[in-house]
Amino acid sequence: MSTPLVALACVTEDVDGVPHPAVRQAYVTALETVACCAVALLPGPAALLPDVLDRFDGLVMGGHESDVDPARYGGPPLPGKRAPERDELALSAIPRAIRAGLPLLGICRGLQELNVAYGGTLRDIGGLSLGAEHREDLSLPRDEQYLPRHDIAVAGGGLLERTTGRRTLRVNSLHQQAIRALAPGLRLEAAAADGVVEAVSAVDASAFCLAVQWHPEWYAATDPVPRQLFTAFGEAAAAHAGRRR
């Protein structure tokens, strides 16, 4: 069987004043070594998506330090880093991918993008007391920043429970935005004790479609739960590749 090819959304960033398509290597490594997929970066423009999506076997919307623009979901203006080209790409790619039956994995910003794409809203938790459990300690080495920090409750009978076999997980959700109103058409898969939504799935998706608020890519090679998530996505992508070819 041929190796499945998955699209990994990225963001254009300036390096020495020159624009570069950028994504953290941890996503690529987890997809290549755990999900067993080949990876193609998808920086946009969104206008080209109808011509290229049928060449892929899955879509991954990873995290980024930028926030989804509140204007995308009718929220009030907020401070924070923006990536308008990523917003445009996400809100165009996600519905198209799901309609086309592509497996989809959302991580951190990817969960927020899935919620907005389905008509939900977000909130800024950075200034709230609950936000402390969802922020990295920048004084620590990077590997320690991404260690699991809090527990989440997994909903019974959902895709996340079927994938992991667990009703409680300990995760490393590190983020500024979070779901405020869960979109119609999405299923709650997990939540933290403070009410923050930690995982969702799309009810109408015909293929694997799961988005998580935490960062499973960081320890995908060594932590059993992240490995299960990437393996499940990779198996769905491989099945799509088999049907496509």
Residues with a known catalytic role = 108, 215, 217
Tell me which DSSP letter residue 210 carries: E
Q: Hey, what are 63's tokens?
A: 């995290």
Q: What is the DSSP string of 77-134?
A: P--S-B-HHHHHHHHHHHHHHHHTT--EEEETHHHHHHHHHTT-EEEE-TTSGGGGGG
Distance CA 230, CA 237 (A): 10
**Inter-CA distances, 8 with 27, 36, 150, 203, 211, Å:** 8, 14, 27, 22, 14
Q: Hey, what are 144's tokens?
A: 């320690």
In the numeric block, the tokens 């959304």 are attached to 9
CA 130, chain centre distance (Å): 21
